[in-house]
Amino acid sequence: MSTLTIPDELRVEYPFDSHFMTTGSGHKLHYVDEGEGQPFLFVHGNPTWSFFFRKLIRHFSPSMRCVAADHIGCGLSDKPQDFAYRLEQHIEHLEQLVLELDLKNIRLLVHDWGGAIGMGVAGRHPERFSEIVVSNTAAFRSQRMPWLLKIAKMPHIGQFLIRRFNAFAGLTPTLGTAEPSRMTTLAKQGFLLPYDSWEHRIATYRFVADIPLEEGHPSYATLTQVEENLEKLKELPILLLWGEKDWVFTPHFMARFQEFFPEARACSYPDCGHLLIEEKPGRVIEEIEAYFS
């Protein structure tokens, strides 16, 4: 089990009790479970963790049951060094959590890698989901990859830069925002807290390495299944929230989601980047409440 301790100064930002589930692979997965009522499931990407959703959880938990898991290798979950960290495993872990908690009528919010993971679970259990919020992510195959990610994906140099110098998580507060000043010092501390050593940064590298661009990649078939299962979600109300200055998940990806879900409501923010939820949490909350009320 993770021995990471939340400093007192961060408890103001992240005041939630910790819960743990033992995955099928025997590792401890950490999750937040706050409030009662209709479940609101938050699924993060790389290199964030449940801390990313803290303001939304605090807002919605008085009226909903807010659940936010940390993927294995992330946040307060175990960070095994001998684990494959494949998309299929992350989907299976989240699926196990949904089934063990018996979540139904789920409102889902996905971001970054959380798109493929969260919508991967929703595509396998569409009867358990009622609404979906999609923010700066993908859940389908794509050949688009910026040059910085291509470097990060390289087996030796990418791992060295990310795990030795924290080049992925360390740069995210700056590269992930259109206005870095919107990220407070305390927020930066929270974002970086779980990724403080070579061992603890294993997932931030493995997520990048697991991006499946070619058919022979171990996660290509899984991502193909996630994409094909999007058809099962077409009848659900879907809200697209996009920071247009995202250099990874550009507005092209929002347009692709609109092809899959032509009835979805789309709201884009030209003055925000990848971490839209961090830059303008109030606007995100307003859009969610307005669309699903």
Q: Is residue 287 part of a domain?
A: yes
Q: How confident is the model at residue 2 (pLDDT cuts 50, 70, 90)?
A: low
Work out the number of other CB atoms within 10 angstroms of the CB of residue 151: 14
Q: How far is CA 283 from the centre of its chain?
A: 19
Q: Out of 126-130, 161-165, 185-189, pick the least confident.
A: 161-165
Class of residue 133 by CB neighbours under 10 A (exposed 0-12, middle 13-18, buried 19+): buried
Q: What is the pLDDT of residue 280?
A: 97
Calpha distance 287→174 (Å, rounded): 25
Q: Is residue 246 part of a domain?
A: yes
State the average pLDDT over residues 220-240.
98
Q: How confident is the model at residue 4 (pLDDT cuts 50, 70, 90)?
A: confident
Q: Is residue 2 part of a domain?
A: no
Q: What is the pLDDT of residue 53?
A: 98
Calpha distance 122→114 (Å, rounded): 12
Please check the confidence at residue 241 and state whether its pLDDT lies above 90. yes
| Residue 64 near residue 35 (C-beta atoms within 8 A) | yes
Q: What percent of the chain has pLDDT over 90?
A: 89
Count the domains in the chain: 1
| Residue 262 near residue 235 (C-beta atoms within 8 A) | no
Please check the confidence at residue 200 and state whether its pLDDT lies above 60. yes
87-146: per-residue pLDDT in tens? Answer: 999 999 999 999 999 999 999 999 999 999 999 999 999 999 999 999 999 999 999 988
State the average pLDDT over residues 199-227.
96
Please check the confidence at residue 167 and state whether its pLDDT lies above 90. no
- CA nearest 274: which of 197, 139, 178, 183? 178
The enclosing domain of 29 has a CATH number of 3.40.50.1820
Calpha distance 124→76 (Å, rounded): 26
Q: How confident is the model at residue 3 (pLDDT cuts 50, 70, 90)?
A: low
Domain that holds residue 168: 8-292
Q: Is residue 37 part of a domain?
A: yes
| Residue 112 near residue 45 (C-beta atoms within 8 A) | yes
7-39: per-residue pLDDT in tens? Answer: 999 999 999 999 999 999 899 999 999 999 999
Q: Is residue 271 part of a domain?
A: yes
Instruction: Please identify which residue in the block is written with the tokens 């063990």.
Output: 100
31 three-state secondary structure = strand
Two tokens at 29? 């997965």
What's the mean per-residue pLDDT of the chain?
A: 95
Q: Is residue 14 part of a domain?
A: yes
Q: Is the peptide bond before 47 cis (omega within 30 degrees of 0)?
A: yes
Q: Is residue 182 part of a domain?
A: yes
98 three-state secondary structure = helix
- CA nearest 239: which of 170, 182, 186, 292? 292
| Residue 110 near residue 117 (C-beta atoms within 8 A) | yes
Q: Is residue 53 part of a domain?
A: yes
State the average pLDDT over residues 219-247.
98
State the average pLDDT over residues 206-210.
94
Query: Which amino acid is located at 278 in the chain?
Result: E
Please check the confidence at residue 6 and state whether its pLDDT lies above 60. yes
**Phi-psi domain of 73 (left: phi exceeds 0; alpha: psi -120 through 50; beta: other):** left
Kind and range of the H or E element at 208?
helix 202-209
Residue 111: φ, ψ to 5°: -145, 140
